[in-house]
Chains A and B, each alone.
Chain A
Amino acid sequence: MDKPFAITLDPGSSLANRTGSWRTFRPEYLDRLPPCNAACPAGENIQGWLFHAESGDYEKAWQSLVENNPLPAIMGRVCYHPCEGGCNRQHVDSAVGINSVERFLGDEARKQGWKFAPPAASTGKRVLVVGSGPAGLSAAYHLTRLGHQAVIYEAAPLAGGMMRFGIPKYRLPREVLDAEIKRLTDFGVELHLQTKVADVLQAMKDGFDAVFLGVGAHIAKRAYIPAGDANKVLDAVAVLRGMEGHDAPMLGRKVVVYGGGNTAIDVARTARRLGAEEAIIVYRRTRDKMPAHDFEVEEALQEGISIKWLSTIKEAGESDIMVEKMALDDKGFPQPTGEFERIEADSVVLALGQDADLSLLENVPGLVVEGGLIQVDAGMMTGHPGVFAGGDMAGSERTVTVAVGHGKKAARAIDAWLRGEVYAPPPKPEIATIERMNSWYYSDAPKTMRPVLDIIRRQSTFEEVLGGLDESNALFEARRCMSCGNCFECDNCYGVCPDNAVIKLGPGKRFRFNYDYCKGCGICAAECPCGAIRMVAEEN
Chain B
Amino acid sequence: MSFQPVKFYQTGTFTVGNRLLPPEERSVQASAKRFNSINSGHRACQGCGEALGARYAIDAAMEATDGQVIAANATGCLEVFSTPYPETSWQIPWIHSLFGNTAAVATGIAAALKVKGLSQNPKTRVVAQGGDGGTTDIGFGCLSGMFERNDDVLYICYDNGGYMNTGVQRSSATPPAARTATTMAVGPEPGNVFGQGKFVPAIAMAHNIPYVATATVADLRDLEAKVRRAMEFRGARYIHILVPCPLGWGTPSQDTIKMARLAKETGIFPVFEAEHGEIKSVLAIRRPLPVEDYLRPQKRYAHLFGKTPALATIAHIQELADRNIRKYGLQARKEGH
Show the binding face of A for B, using Cβ within 8 Å.
Answer: 3, 7, 9-19, 22, 54-55, 440-445, 476, 479-481, 483, 488-492, 494-501, 504, 506-507, 514, 516-517, 519-523, 525-527, 529, 535
Complex contact B40–A490 (CB within 8 A): no
Judge whether A521 and B40 touch: CB under 8 Å.
no
Also in contact, A500 and B46, with CB within 8 A (given A444-B335, A494-B17): no
- Contact at B11–A529, with CB atoms within 8 Å? yes
CA distance A490 to B52 in the complex (A): 18
Cα–Cα distance between A5 and B291 once the two chains are bound (Å) = 50
Contact of A507 among B12, B19, B252, B258 (CB under 8 A): B19
Q: Which residue of B lies closest to A499 (CB)?
A: B40
A481, B10: Cβ atoms closer than 8 Å: yes
Does the CB pair A498–B44 fall under 8 Å?
yes
B275 to chain A, nearest CB (A): 28
CB of B118, distance to nearest CB on chain A (Å) = 25
- State in angstroms the CA–CA spacing of A510 and B17 once bound together: 12
Which residues from chain B contact A500 at a C-beta distance below 8 Å?
36, 39-40, 55
With a cutoff of 8 Å between Cβ atoms, the chain B residues found around residue A22 in the complex are 46
Known: A17-B87, A526-B257. A445 touches B15 (CB 8 A): no
Asked if residues A490 and B32 are in contact (CB atoms below 8 Å), the reply is: no
Interfacial chain A residues near B255, Cβ < 8 Å: 526
CB of B96 within 8 Å of the partner chain? no
User: Is B29 touching A491 in the complex (CB atoms < 8 A)?
Assistant: yes
Closest 7 CB pairs of A and B: A491-B17, A495-B16, A522-B254, A14-B41, A521-B47, A11-B86, A517-B40
Contact yes or no, A525 B254, CB < 8 A: yes
* Contact assessment for B40 and A15 in the assembled complex, using a CB-CB cutoff below 8 Å: yes
**Which residues in A have their C-beta under 8 angstroms from that of B49?**
498
Closest to A24 in B: B46
B261 interface hit (Cβ, 8 Å)? yes
Chain A's closest residue to B50 (CB) is A498
Q: B9 is contacted by which of A443, A494, A526 (Cβ under 8 Å)?
A: A443
Asked if A522 meets B47 with Cβ closer than 8 Å, knowing A7-B86, A13-B89, the reply is yes
Interface residues of B in 84-131 (CB under 8 A from A): 85-89, 91
Which chain A residue has the least Cβ–Cβ distance from B18? A490
- With A18-B41, A443-B12 known as contacts, the answer to whether A526 contacts B18 (CB < 8 A) is no
B203 within 8 A of A: no
Q: Cα distance A525–B46 when bound, in Å?
A: 14
Q: Which of B41, B48, B52 contacts A17 (CB 8 A)?
A: B41
**Least Cβ–Cβ distance between B251 and chain A, in angstroms:** 11
In the complex, whether B200 has a CB less than 8 A from a CB of chain A is: no
Residue of B nearest to A504 (CB): B32
A498 to B29, CA, bound (A): 12
Closest to B41 in A: A14
Of B10, B32, B246, the residue contacting A442 (CB under 8 A) is: B10
Q: Could you jot down 22 A-B contacts, CB within 8 Å? A: A7-B86, A9-B87, A11-B85, A13-B39, A14-B41, A14-B89, A441-B15, A488-B10, A488-B19, A490-B15, A491-B16, A491-B29, A491-B30, A494-B29, A498-B44, A498-B49, A498-B52, A501-B40, A522-B46, A522-B254, A527-B258, A535-B254
CB distance from A230 to the nearest CB of B (A): 62
**Which residue of the partner chain A has the closest CB to B13?**
A443
Task: Confirm or deny: B42 has a beta carbon within 8 angstroms of a beta carbon on chain A.
Answer: yes
Interface class of chain A by DSSP: loop
Q: Which residue of B lies closest to A55 (CB)?
A: B20
CB <8 Å contact, A499 and B20? no
Q: Which residues of B from 310 to 337 have beta carbons under 8 Å from A?
A: 335
* Contact indicator B16/A490 (Cβ below 8 Å): yes
Given A19-B41, A22-B46, decide whether A441 and B32 contact each other with a Cβ distance below 8 A. no
Q: A12-B87, A14-B40, A55-B20 are in contact. List 20 more A-B contacts (CB 8 A).
A: A11-B86, A12-B88, A13-B39, A13-B87, A14-B42, A14-B43, A14-B82, A14-B87, A14-B89, A15-B41, A17-B87, A444-B335, A490-B11, A491-B18, A491-B29, A497-B52, A517-B40, A519-B47, A521-B256, A526-B255
Distance of A148 Cα from B243 Cα, bound (Å) = 62
Residues from chain B with a CB closer than 8 A to the CB of A495 are 15-17, 27, 29-30, 220
Residues in chain A near residue B55, CB distance under 8 A: 498, 500
Q: CA A440 – CA B257 in complex, angstroms? A: 12
Q: Across the two chains, which residue of chain A brings its CB closest to B52? A: A498
Residues of A within 8 A of B7 (CB): 443
Closest to B49 in A: A498
> B241 contacts the other chain (Cβ, under 8 Å)?
no
**In-complex Cβ contact of B14 among A55, A440, A519 (8 A):** A440
Tell whether B253 is near chain A: CB-to-CB under 8 Å: yes
Nearest CB to that of A9 among chain B residues? Answer: B87
In the complex, what residue of chain B is closest to A514 when comparing beta carbons?
B40
CA distance A15 to B17 in the complex (A): 26
Q: Does B303 contact A (CB under 8 A)?
A: no
Residue from the list A10, A15, A506 in contact with B86, Cβ < 8 A: A10
Q: How far is the CA of A520 from the CA of B246 in the complex (A)?
A: 13
- Complex CA–CA separation, A106 to B253 (angstroms): 47
- State how many angstroms separate the Cβ of A11 from the closest Cβ of chain B: 4
B257 touches A17 (CB 8 A): no
| Min CB–CB distance A521 → chain B (angstroms) | 4
Is B229 engaged at the interface, CB distance under 8 Å to the other chain?
no
Taking a contact as CB atoms under 8 Å apart, the answer to whether B87 and A476 are in contact is no
B26 CB-CB contact with A under 8 Å:
yes
Among B27, B46, B335, which residue has its beta carbon within 8 angstroms of that of A521?
B46
- Distance from B300 Cβ to chain A, minimum over Cβ atoms (Å): 19
Q: Which residues of A contact B52 (CB under 8 A)?
A: 496-498, 523
| B88 and A441 contacting across the interface, CB-CB below 8 Å | no
Cα-based distance from A3 to B87 in the complex (angstroms): 13
A188 to chain B, nearest CB (A): 36
Which residue on A lies nearest to B88, using beta carbons?
Answer: A14
Which of A507, A514, A523 is the most central at the interface, judged by chain B CB atoms within 10 Å of its CB?
A523
* Bound Cα distance from A9 to B17, whole angstroms: 36
For residue A15, which residue of chain B has the nearest CB? B41
Q: Which of B42-73 contact A (CB under 8 A)?
A: 42-44, 46-49, 51-52, 55
